[in-house]
Structure 1
Amino acid sequence: MSDRIAIDDAAARRLLRLIHDAAIAASQPAAIMHRHVPPPPAGRCVVIGAGKAAAAMASALDAALLAQWGAQVPVSGVVATRHGHAAGLPPPARIAVVEAGHPVPDQHSLLAAQQIVAALHGLTSQDLVIALISGGGSACMEWPVDGMDLDALQALTRAMLESGASIAEINTVRRHLSRVKGGRLAALAAPAPVLTLLISDVPGDDPAAIASGPTLADATRATDALAIIARHRLPVPEAALAALRAAPPLPPMRGEHRIIASPRQALTAAADCARQAGLTPLILGDALEGEARELGRAMAGIARSAQTWGDPLRAPGVILSGGETTVTLAGGAYGRGGRNCEFALAMTVALDGAPGIWALAADSDGIDGSDDAAGAFVAPDTLARAGAAGASAAQALAGHDSYSFFAAIDDLLITGPSHTNVNDIRAVLVA
């Protein structure tokens, strides 16, 4: 950054929010959907989908189809999104939007899956199915195998989220305990061709892992799911385990898929924004995983090194990263806060008031875990202000109560649903 621009606390927060918002804007379905409209089919078009971005994707697609195809092709369908994530969007005229549970499936999730399956009945080879898939679809749309009722499904989901299992492990289990995941929706659409448009929230952008791949099969087997269940001691009813042991392989891959927005694209937009503001950007990677608190401590060390030695970048600059960390709960009472708030709290503790370092860690969908915050800010005076407010960082970190800690000093980032989902966006500003 040029010498004429001072980086005080207000300027640092402004820059971090600007960088974060640039990443979100680059990932909006309304900005990118028109580039991915296929040629019109001879028959009709049925749109299905699930995920936190599904409502925004459906709204953008309906408008793009009308603009590029006209009204001659019949368009219908249904998508499922998280409760509240359709608010503020222009509703698609020809595609129904169902709101359902997340991160734990609810009765609406089951109804959504059944409506989506019903929309696929009676298709021909002259028709076209467009599937709109984004992160969160695993919970928003679900129809479990025999032996798993809603109560068992909810108990399993909570246990997986608290176990420390990776998102890949969680989705493997979900995929093999579901009637609508692992390519099964694409199989139900046959003989109609299927085009899957994806917004990626998974490390590595494996298309079959996004929302557990309802239209895209992968190479995992039921035995992989059984091994994960055993390793993490997950509560799966015996009847469902028996169904897994007897399960046939997942259906083969059908149709075409395109990733229309991804964590890397979002971080690239964030880096461009930082560069335009005069900062030197460094993208560490878009697939950083592990315990949120451990990554927070590591990031504090990287920021200190940059400030002291100019390595891995020279100040003033911004260190960008994405991916999906985990928060392992060992049981007992614990507080509020998702993985980004916990990352920020651990980084705060590790920095211990070091001057000239600020950070913002946030979930790109606008919801960090199940609370109303997207994430939190870190500043050199965070610990001092928290102490004055009677909040203990050490106690909050030990009790997984990061939300309450940052709420006490008004350092939560609250954006509401963003209408996209490209995983976590972390920016560390080093002056």
Structure 2
Amino acid sequence: MSDDHRKLLREMFDAAVAAAHPSVCLPPHIARIAPPKGRTVVVGAGKAAAAMAAAVEQHYPATLEGLVVTRYGHGAPTAQIEVIEASHPVPDAAGREAAARILKTVQGLTEDDLVLALISGGGSALMALPAEGVTLEEKQAVNKALLKSGATISEMNCVRKHLSAIKGGRLARAAAPARVVALMISDVPNDDLSVIASGPTVPDATTRQDALAVIAKYKIEAPAAVLAHLGGDACETPKPGDPVFARVENILTATPQGSLAAAAEVAKKASFTPCILGDLEGESRDVALVHAGVARQIALHGQPFAPPCAIISGGETTVTVRGHGKGGRDAEFLLALTLALQGFGGISAVACDTDGIDGSEDNAGAIMTADSFARAERAGVDLKALFANNDAYTAFEKLGDLIITGPTRTNVNDFRVILVPNWAGR
């Protein structure tokens, strides 16, 4: 891969992240929110929460109060809104205490007050307030098992909602009769508002039976207290049509599609035809095989687009953990792609998480160069063995191709680009 292609891949990722940054995507929406007669209380949760709070402080024309919770290391300086940091993806006591304070903050408000909720991906784990009868430790156990199971984000959040005292529309219920405006950055396929951070301000159409079905499907060994809680109607969430949502407005301010489109513009300027596949789900290694097939078809037959072409996709894949290695879903995708293509046609690629953290490691993702497979062979790096051990991080670390950005303070989930040059397949 030429240095130009490596640079282009990074520029496309940077453009995707920039399009979803709160400093860019929030101001137009903040400008349309009229201050209330009473108080403006700000609460929120997610990897972008601190940067969202900073944007609100900069652009909202009235006095603010409140607090938000974000991931450790994802904070941002604020003057009026308190920022708390907690653990992600497995919740901790700091997240539990922050969620309890958020719930208390919105209670007792009047019709003259406004709750400004700042919601982004990661908020489900960060705003972890277990339902009565369920301990934080029990919720942690279920969360860890779900993360390793291969469950989709929608499935995981269905369970989380029914084990929570604040998610699944319960924050909106606590805030009534105050007006609630939620500014949301989507990190989920199809931008399902009820799934973003488990929808604390959104009606929930899922049921406790759905949550039990997820636990059964993935053979989760849930604690007895969890099963007992899900066995009773008390765990049910507020449903569509509930009057508690009469004064609630949920607004999408940034979406995965918006970031993919921003990257596509960069590709066009570099004379690569963008082919946006959209938001995808599924096992990372399986999604990689599909992408490899599309890339070969473009290279060999000029279908569905003639090279040079940039295949762009987002969404949230999953990894069923079988080994003991390091690496998130993006590095796993990229290693599977590397093995599938083995340098075919000079094709290169990038796969990163837009929050800057791929899984639980310190990298956003990695780059696959046209000679990654060959370089690994020359260096004695057994990519197949590392792949079998879910150790994609080590594979790209040894190749020197990790991408480390640090926290980006936004999150529209996975970002993937495959560059098929005009000489590919020849």
Normalising by the smaller structure, the TM-score range is over 0.9
Alignment-derived partner of residue 80 in structure 1 = 69
Q: Matched residues in 2 for 1:352 and 1:246: separation?
A: 53
TM-score by length of 1: 0.93
Alignment-derived partner of residue 54 in structure 2 = 59
For the 8 Å contact 1:145–1:240, the answer to whether it is kept is no
Shift of 1:45: 0.3
- Segments of 5+ residues of structure 1 without an aligned counterpart are 1-7
Q: Matched residues in 2 for 1:334 and 1:247: separation?
A: 39
Alignment-derived partner of residue 342 in structure 1 = 332
Q: Matched residues in 2 for 1:189 and 1:15: separation?
A: 46
Q: Matched residues in 2 for 1:147 and 1:160: separation?
A: 20
SS at match of 1:208: coil
Letter in 2 for 1:334: H
For residues 228-267 of structure 1, the aligned pairs below 5 Å read 228-248=214-234, 249-251=236-238, 252=242, 254=245, 255-267=248-260
Match of 1:138 among 124, 129, 138: 124
1:396 and 2:386 aligned: yes
Match of 1:284 among 260, 277, 282: 277
For the 8 Å contact 1:226–1:244, the answer to whether it is kept is yes
Q: Matched residues in 2 for 1:206 and 1:340: separation?
A: 22
Shift of 1:316: 0.9
1:329 and 2:315 aligned: no
SS at match of 1:403: helix
Higher mean C-alpha deviation, range 378-387 or range 404-413: 378-387
- Segments of 5+ residues of structure 2 without an aligned counterpart are 422-426
Letter in 1 for 2:149: S
1:177 and 2:167 aligned: no
Alignment-derived partner of residue 20 in structure 2 = 27
Letter in 2 for 1:82: R
Q: Matched residues in 2 for 1:301 and 1:293: separation?
A: 13
Q: Matched residues in 2 for 1:258 and 1:188: separation?
A: 19
Shift of 1:239: 2.3
For the 8 Å contact 1:147–1:238, the answer to whether it is kept is no
For the 8 Å contact 2:161–2:237, the answer to whether it is kept is no
Alignment-derived partner of residue 9 in structure 2 = 16
Shift of 1:138: 0.8
For residues 14-163 of structure 1, the aligned pairs below 5 Å read 14-37=7-30, 38-65=33-60, 69=61, 73-86=62-75, 89=76, 91-163=77-149
Q: Matched residues in 1 for 2:358 and 2:405: separation?
A: 11
Kindly report the root-mean-square deviation, in angstroms, between the aligned alpha carbons of the 2 structures. 1.2
Alignment-derived partner of residue 420 in structure 1 = 410
Alignment-derived partner of residue 424 in structure 2 = none
1:316 and 2:308 aligned: yes
Alignment-derived partner of residue 268 in structure 2 = 275
Instruction: Give CA-to-partner distance per residue, 1:389-423, whole Å, 9 cap, x none.
Output: 32111001111000000000111111111111001
Q: Matched residues in 2 for 1:235 and 1:80: separation?
A: 29
Q: Matched residues in 2 for 1:311 and 1:275: separation?
A: 18
Shift of 1:235: 2.8
SS at match of 2:130: coil
For the 8 Å contact 1:28–1:419, the answer to whether it is kept is yes
% same residue: 50
Q: Matched residues in 2 for 1:298 and 1:415: separation?
A: 28
Q: Matched residues in 2 for 1:355 and 1:231: separation?
A: 41
SS at match of 1:207: coil
Letter in 1 for 2:403: L
Shift of 1:387: 2.1
SS at match of 2:344: coil
Letter in 2 for 1:297: L
TM-score by length of 2: 0.95
Q: Matched residues in 1 for 2:255 and 2:53: separation?
A: 18
